Chain A
Amino acid sequence: MDFGPYLMLATLEGAVTAAVLALTASGLALVFGVMRVVNVAHGEFFMLGAVLAWWVTSLMEGYAALGFALALLIVPVLVAALAALADITVLKRLSYDPERTIVATIGILYILQQVTLMTYGPDARPVTPPFNTRLALPWVEMTENGLSLYWPWGLSITSYKLAVIGAAVVVLLALWALMTRSKLGLMMRATEQDREMALAFGIPVERVYALVFGLGAGLAALAAVLIVPIQQAHYLMGGEPLLLSFIVVIIGGLGSLPGTVLAALLIGLSDGIISVFFSPTLAKILATLLVALVLVFRPQGLFGARRA
């Protein structure tokens, strides 16, 4: 393959990564923005989403599309409920002290991961995508007759991957509408700006917190359900989305949603492209160092204007 088509393929793969990453990271950003809690267990909620999606689809053996649709509906709600429960039983009792909640979420991380290992086991298991047509993509080339289209061998994407990108865009728009256009979003933003004042105006801050924590985890789980037909479900799969989400949230300006989505695009695409042309490990080293240095020298993030 020539360089051009190759780059396009890398970009498309990167766009799928970016879409899923934007969903996962916006969950993390939401929790940090509203609650000022760094949720280290976020990756495990992602992992739970994938594992539960496998469970639901395997219950519906033989009806791949139906099972997947069901997983898409049920799994995020289940994970959100579990996260809300964790918030009420653990985080609330720590009165959301930043350092102690980090330690507690590290504990929750290991509990979720290891319980999954005990019940689901150490295997990676695939989920059948509901539809999976291969779409060949055209590329332009210079011939004697001027520009013409041709279909290079290997340049293709599946319809499912396109659907993932589309679904992520829809969900992110819905999240944006929820935050800016609904009463619930107003309550969340009020809590984010001033907890005491929100409380004084009769906003049930503790319920908002539980809801936000659940919503954040639900977004991660939704992202996982979308990606699991491409990636397979495994009990250790939470580490990578956690690290990448951290990177995205920090570069995007801690807690700001538009910045997070922008950073997810940047990181997802560049991760895809760098991994294709260079070593994936090198890409991750550079990304983690970038994050650390951004936090040290520009704590408001590359795109954010607010103080963290």
Chain B
Amino acid sequence: MKSEINKVIGLHGAVLAILFVLQFVLPAYHHGNLARIMVLATYAIGYNLLFGYTGLLSLGHALFFASGLYGMGLGMTQLGLGTGPALLLGVLAGACIGALIGALALRTEGVAFMIVTLMFAQAGYLTILYFGTYTRGDEGFVIQQADRLLFGLDLSDPSVRYFAAFSIFCVAFLVMLGVLRSRFGKVLIAIRENEERAMMLGYDVMRYKLAAVILSATLSALAGAGYGLLFGYVGASFASVQYSIFPLLWVLLGGAGTLLGPLVGTVFMFYLIDLSSGITTAYMLIAGVVLVCLTLFAPQGLMGELRNRFWRWLP
């Protein structure tokens, strides 16, 4: 037992260390990519908390990502907030919308939950288009470099940006590790495994699920706000169905219900799409094929298979 904890700390510490060191060795192109991947992996971690650990499949997480993105972006352009408060506003917006959607959608389950979340996200996407005077719709708006300063650091500078992305990822990663080691995380897993039994044991399942939705939405919004801030662009395409499908794809590929799965899945999928978009414009074909193959042949994902075969202690 003691050695397992050491292994867990060793492996995950090593992953973080590698991510930290990579910024000094990677060429510029992959350096930029990895910064992007770490922010997107934060989004995937948020998704994984709900899908992988609580067993709730949402098809509307783009709403939470977008509420972070737009909470931050509109806070800057419309309310004239500084970088720090705008970032905070984005995360807060995600938490509030998460609480609202969670309170409504959790009254349903299974397929109905998937469709309800999908519909709310679609309504959110359309609302962004509808208020085009402020959001500039599909076209989106750019966040000026002058506004992207945090504690005097210029977030558009590649190495600062990498370090900021790394910090965001670390926050989400450590929060998840903390959740998994806590009683709260154990109850979530119990709900995933057998909701009725968890209820019979006296847990208020509804409250735990709502808390999971809110935390998941908050992490997704953090990723959204960070993405807008680091890469300087806010657009409606980030609220579209495609961005609800992506985290599902990343988490399924990496392994739902594993701590490293979201990162592994995002890295693989990002480079798969990056490589194939050089060959054809129909790069989403890869996403489709991967989705079908995963559900057919490897529903546990990469880290899940690894856990089944070799590392049974993987959290």
Taking Cβ atoms with an 8 Å cutoff, the residues of A that contact B are 38, 90, 93-94, 98-100, 102-104, 106-115, 117-118, 122, 239, 243, 246, 250, 279, 281-282, 284-285, 288-289, 291-293, 295-297, 299, 308
Q: B115, B122, B252: which contacts A295 (Cβ < 8 A)?
A: B115
10 A-B residue pairings within 8 Å (CB atoms): A99-B114, A100-B299, A103-B248, A106-B288, A107-B288, A239-B241, A246-B119, A250-B115, A288-B120, A289-B123
The reply to whether A115 and B119 contact each other, CB–CB distance below 8 Å, is: no
Within 8 A of A (CB), among B1-47: none
The reply to whether A110 and B291 contact each other, CB–CB distance below 8 Å, is: yes
User: Which stretch from B67-75, B86-94, B177-185, B279-287 is at the chain A interface?
Assistant: B279-287
Q: Given the complex, which residues of A lie within 8 Å of B123, measured CB to CB?
A: 285, 288-289, 292
The reply to whether A104 and B292 contact each other, CB–CB distance below 8 Å, is: yes
Given contacts A99-B57, A108-B288, A110-B285, is CB(A118)–CB(B112) below 8 Å? Answer: no
The reply to whether B282 and A118 contact each other, CB–CB distance below 8 Å, is: yes
User: Which stretch from B101-109, B152-160, B203-211, B214-222 is at the chain A interface?
Assistant: B101-109
Q: Given the complex, which residues of A lie within 8 Å of B290, measured CB to CB?
A: 107
B149 at the interface (CB under 8 A from A): no
The reply to whether B282 and A282 contact each other, CB–CB distance below 8 Å, is: no
Q: Given the complex, which residues of B lie within 8 Å of A115, measured CB to CB?
A: 282, 285
The reply to whether B285 and A285 contact each other, CB–CB distance below 8 Å, is: no
Which secondary structure dominates where chain A touches chain B?
A: helix
A281 to B285, CA, bound (A): 29
Q: Given the complex, which residues of B lie within 8 Å of A102, measured CB to CB?
A: 57, 59, 111, 114
The reply to whether B114 and A38 contact each other, CB–CB distance below 8 Å, is: yes
The reply to whether A285 and B280 contact each other, CB–CB distance below 8 Å, is: no
Q: Given the complex, which residues of A lie within 8 Å of B288, measured CB to CB?
A: 106-114
Q: For the complex formed, measure the closest distance between the CB of A14 and the CB atoms of chain B, giving whole angstroms.
A: 20
B129 at the interface (CB under 8 A from A): yes
The reply to whether B252 and A103 contact each other, CB–CB distance below 8 Å, is: yes
Taking Cβ atoms with an 8 Å cutoff, the residues of B that contact A are 57, 59, 104-105, 107-108, 110-112, 114-116, 119-120, 122-123, 126-127, 129-130, 241, 245, 248, 252, 280-285, 287-296, 299
A308 to B129, CA, bound (A): 32
Top 3 A-B residue pairs of the complex, sorted by shortest distance between their CB atoms: A110-B288, A107-B291, A114-B285
A296 to B299, CA, bound (A): 29
The reply to whether A295 and B285 contact each other, CB–CB distance below 8 Å, is: no
Q: B107, B108, B129, B282: which contacts A117 (Cβ < 8 A)?
A: B282
The reply to whether A284 and B126 contact each other, CB–CB distance below 8 Å, is: yes
A8 to B108, CA, bound (A): 39
Q: B110, B292, B299: which contacts A107 (Cβ < 8 A)?
A: B292
The reply to whether B115 and A111 contact each other, CB–CB distance below 8 Å, is: no
Closest-by-CB residue of A relative to B118 is A246
A107 to B281, CA, bound (A): 17
